[in-house]
């Protein structure tokens, strides 16, 4: 059973008088114009797509830089938080031990310098009771002038007074250590202010 009777036939409706004729030149111009419009629309779409892609890349780059900045500051903060107890421990424990171990060498250096400047005169070394044994070992060396050690309970372990004739010198490693401690504390205080203020 054919369905052609249900569909309209448009073939008969075109008559020879109703036909529109287009010359080959006009047809070519029409094709060119349509091509140019299609090309322009494609080009505009490509530029629009590229602009959107650039905006997306810029936005992504900006977000990544913010993440890196945050990560850097977070790492910086954590590093300083981890370093502070270490440096405090060094200032409170390690440096005083080093100072105590080297105080004898510092006294010998000062005695040699004073002997060059003032000649052989009796020297009195005043120390804290905890340094008396160290200074007694020092007295076993030959300096070419008489030495005596006197204890003074008010002195710290890093303090020594040298009396060479009428001249006196003070070695105060406690003050040096205190200055280092204050410098470390000030450094971390300033760093904390920078972290808080961003």
CATH number assigned to the domain comprising residue 167: 3.30.2320
Q: Is 84 part of a structural domain of the chain?
A: yes
Number of domains forming the structure of the chain? 1
Q: Is 74 part of a structural domain of the chain?
A: yes
Whether pLDDT at 69 is above 70: no
* Token pair for 106: 């510092």
Q: How do 123-127 and 147-151 pair as beta strands? A: parallel
Summarised one tens digit per residue, pLDDT across range 16-56 is: 555 556 777 777 888 888 888 888 888 888 787 777 777 77
Q: Which domain holds residue 147?
A: 65-197
Whether pLDDT at 84 is above 80: no
Q: Is 91 part of a structural domain of the chain?
A: yes
List the 159-164 sheet strands across, edge first: 147-151, 123-127, 159-164, 167-172
Q: Is 187 part of a structural domain of the chain?
A: yes
Q: Is 149 part of a structural domain of the chain?
A: yes
Average pLDDT over residues 8-20: 58
pLDDT of residue 140: 77
pLDDT band at 147 (very low <50, low <70, confident <90, very high): confident
Whether pLDDT at 160 is above 80: yes
pLDDT of residue 184: 80
Q: Is 29 part of a structural domain of the chain?
A: no
């Amino acid at each position: 059973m054919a369905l052609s009777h249900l569909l309209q036939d448009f073939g008969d409706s075109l008559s020879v008088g109703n036909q529109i004729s287009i010359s080959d030149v006009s047809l070519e111009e029409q094709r060119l114009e349509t091509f140019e419009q299609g090309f322009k629309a494609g080009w505009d779409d490509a530029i629009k797509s590229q602009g959107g892609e650039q905006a997306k890349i810029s936005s992504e780059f900006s977000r990544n830089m913010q993440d890196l900045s945050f990560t850097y500051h977070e790492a910086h903060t954590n590093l300083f938080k981890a370093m502070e107890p270490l440096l405090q421990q060094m200032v409170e424990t390690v440096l005083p031990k080093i100072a105590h171990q080297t105080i004898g060498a510092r006294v010998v250096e000062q005695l040699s310098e004073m002997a060059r400047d003032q000649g052989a005169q009796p020297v009195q070394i005043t120390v804290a009771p905890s340094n008396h044994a160290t200074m007694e070992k020092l007295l076993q060396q030959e300096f070419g002038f008489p030495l005596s050690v006197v204890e003074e309970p008010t002195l710290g372990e890093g303090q020594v007074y040298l009396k060479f004739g009428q001249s006196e010198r003070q070695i105060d490693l406690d003050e040096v250590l205190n200055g280092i401690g204050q410098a470390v504390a000030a450094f971390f205080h300033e760093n904390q202010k920078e972290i808080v203020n961003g």
